[in-house]
Structure 1
Amino acid sequence: GAGLEPLTTRLSALGRLAPSVELVGALRAAEVRDREERAAHLHARATGDRRSAAWRRAHPDPFREDRRTRPATAPSPQAMPPVLHVDLFGGLSVRIGDVPVTSSVIARRKAKTLLAVLVLRRGGELPRDRLAEALWPDSDPKTARKNLSSTWSALARALAVDGSCPYLLADDYGCRLDGRLVESDVGRFEALCRKLLFNRAQLDTWEELYSQVCGDYADDLLPCEHDSALVDSLRLRYRTELADALVAASERLVEAGEVRGALWFAREALRRDSSREDAYAAQMQAQIAAGQRAAALETYFACRAYLAEELGIDPSPRIVELYRAVIEEEVEV
């Protein structure tokens, strides 16, 4: 025990030692520098925020504001906005729920084309640069993007519900429609074509299908819109698809003995596209089945004249075969 006393005494003496003046000064200087650096960082951050806010005020962007004001999560079913109905065949028609959209913005050509192109994408995204170039092909990229931003903002105001537009979605790179909230006659048109092409059972109600063709889809897609190459190409595509469907329906109706329906569908196909040789053939086939031999001959000569004058070619073997069938029947009689 006695041997431990000197060590205990020395430890107690060490515990009573005070830090040196130099150490205290260094610690205080470090504390001051830390406070100054923290204050400088906060000042720089506040200055940057003010500059960013000033830049956003000087450079408004409806795409950015659309994201800032949009809820982070999807609305609940109870809060879902009304469906946006956009019909394109025969001209543009827009309704929010059951209320027609009468804003003059919808009548503007570029706004109309923008909405139509988005609808035709069926909720798919379009790159902003590509969309701007398609709508303003003669403008430089900067001007085209500015025009797109302005048109998008005006369209969003025209389609607003309770102060905001839930249908138009955009980010820094792309634009699209919220497919959950948009319905269009384009989807119904495609369903009608599938029925005529592939669903034999649906031909039992061919009168109803024919009524839809000649009623809802009597005219082309946006027949007066010729500023967009995309709209032009889709108009031609849908016209071709409908002619395909009408010819197929006519041929199946002949097989089923529904001659009257076959005639009506073939005539409508030829009215839609007088360059279709298969439509001439379908009409001849239906006319022969109906006992209209003179009409079948007129169809043949009309087809032959068109092919010779417009294309410089002769009728196909199928058309010639139908013609010979009429002639041979005439000789036998």
Structure 2
Amino acid sequence: MEATASWEWNLELLGCWQLRRGDEPIEVGFRQQRVITVVALLGSRSRTFVANLLWPENSESQAAGSLRASMYRISHELPTLMQSAGHRLALGNRVAVDVHSVRQLVRDILATGAVTPPTAATDVLCSADLLPGWYEDWVIFEQERLWQGRVAALEALARHYLDRGDNARALAAAGAAAAMEPLRESAHLLLVQGHLAAGNRASASAAFGRLRAGLDRELGIAPSPRFTELLDLRTPLPARERDPG
């Protein structure tokens, strides 16, 4: 994760919304939080864009007025946190945002298949929930995008560790991806492969069984043949499905 010692402001969007100046938590009003969060997540945007995004049910002039009021409070109560260049809004130059570090971690892993040092990467990806409890459409879109990036990065880590024979880390990453997406076959396939590489066939079969039960319960489908081939399964049908003759 990104070091924050040189930053004036630290904005936390993972787990809960929190702004700190140095080590001191700062109270921020609801509307101001939303304005700050838009530019933290989406980058520099025009005033019109931010106003219409945050106050979609208001007229354009009303939305612009609400944004001006919020920006007035931000500029006076939180100087240097945000900057305005012409009609555009952006964060100041000395603001660290925790989600930016996770996004960069995801990009690095997807680009190379690994991360250095690897120790905390899986834990970071597991715990990086973006603004839980926020339900605006634009936030939900960013939550889902980060979620899918985290799962893909965990799978990439699992493949990387499997290729290098690091079964413990491979199982941790694959297990985390499977826990986040219980019906995602690619994650469970890596989990099964990790158990088999570690010599734990029973654990591999149990992981497959959980996926099969989940797919049947939620979607009424069976796992792909890749699992049968990998485990060399010849699982009989349940008694209720057998031909009575």
Fold conserved (TM > 0.5)? yes
1:166 corresponds in structure 2 to 80
Q: State the distance in 1 between where 2:215 and 2:99 align.
A: 32
Counterpart pick for 2:9 among 84, 90, 93: 84
Counterpart pick for 2:163 among 235, 255, 267: 255
2:121 corresponds in structure 1 to 209
Give SS of 2:120's match. helix
In the TM superposition, what whole-angstrom CA distance separates every residue of 1:180-200 from its partner, at most 9, and x where no partner exists?
222211221123223433446
1:233 equivalenced with 2:141 (yes/no): yes
In the TM superposition, what whole-angstrom CA distance separates every residue of 1:184-235 from its partner, at most 9, and x where no partner exists?
11221123223433446646x4333334335xxx1411112113x2221111
- Aligned partners of 1:300 and 1:323 also within 8 Å: no
1:278 corresponds in structure 2 to 186
Cα 1:113/1:324, change in 2 over 3 Å:
farther
Choose 1 or 2 for highest CA Rg.
Answer: 1
Give SS of 1:176's match. strand
Counterpart pick for 2:31 among 81, 97, 110: 110
Instruction: Report percent identity of matched pairs.
Output: 26
2:51 corresponds in structure 1 to 132
1:311 equivalenced with 2:235 (yes/no): no
Alignment root-mean-square deviation, CA? 2.5
1:151 corresponds in structure 2 to 70
Cα 1:156/1:101, change in 2 over 3 Å:
farther
1:182 equivalenced with 2:106 (yes/no): no
TM-score by length of structure 1 reads 0.62
Q: State the distance in 1 between where 2:186 and 2:23 align.
A: 43
- Offset at residue 82 of structure 1 (A): 6.0
Q: State the distance in 2 between where 1:236 and 1:200 align.
A: 21
- Offset at residue 321 of structure 1 (A): 2.4
Give the counterpart letter for 2:105 in structure 1: L
Q: State the distance in 2 between where 1:194 and 1:131 align.
A: 26
Q: State the distance in 2 between where 1:201 and 1:311 align.
A: 33
Report the number of matched residues: 230
Matches within 5 A, 1:295-306: 295-306=203-214
Give the counterpart letter for 2:32 in structure 1: A
Q: State the distance in 2 between where 1:101 and 1:92 align.
A: 11
In the TM superposition, what whole-angstrom CA distance separates every residue of 1:156-181 from its partner, at most 9, and x where no partner exists?
2331xxxxx22322356332223x22
TM-score by length of structure 2 reads 0.82
- Aligned partners of 1:88 and 1:222 also within 8 Å: yes
In the TM superposition, what whole-angstrom CA distance separates every residue of 1:267-297 from its partner, at most 9, and x where no partner exists?
1112222232211111111111122222222
Give SS of 1:257's match. coil
Give the counterpart letter for 1:148 in structure 2: L
- Offset at residue 325 of structure 1 (A): 6.1
Which residues of structure 1 form unaligned runs of 5+? 1-80, 160-164, 328-333
In the TM superposition, what whole-angstrom CA distance separates every residue of 1:47-70 from its partner, at most 9, and x where no partner exists?
xxxxxxxxxxxxxxxxxxxxxxxx
Give the counterpart letter for 1:111 in structure 2: Q
Give SS of 1:233's match. helix
Q: State the distance in 1 between where 2:86 and 2:124 align.
A: 41
- Aligned partners of 1:82 and 1:181 also within 8 Å: yes
1:20 corresponds in structure 2 to none
Give SS of 1:207's match. coil
1:26 corresponds in structure 2 to none
Which residues of structure 2 form unaligned runs of 5+? 1-5, 236-245
Give SS of 2:232's match. helix
- Aligned partners of 2:7 and 2:96 also within 8 Å: no
Give the counterpart letter for 1:100 in structure 2: E
- Aligned partners of 1:113 and 1:225 also within 8 Å: no
Give the counterpart letter for 1:184 in structure 2: V
In the TM superposition, what whole-angstrom CA distance separates every residue of 1:241-262 from its partner, at most 9, and x where no partner exists?
1110111111221121111111
- Offset at residue 302 of structure 1 (A): 2.0
Cα 1:270/1:326, change in 2 over 3 Å:
farther
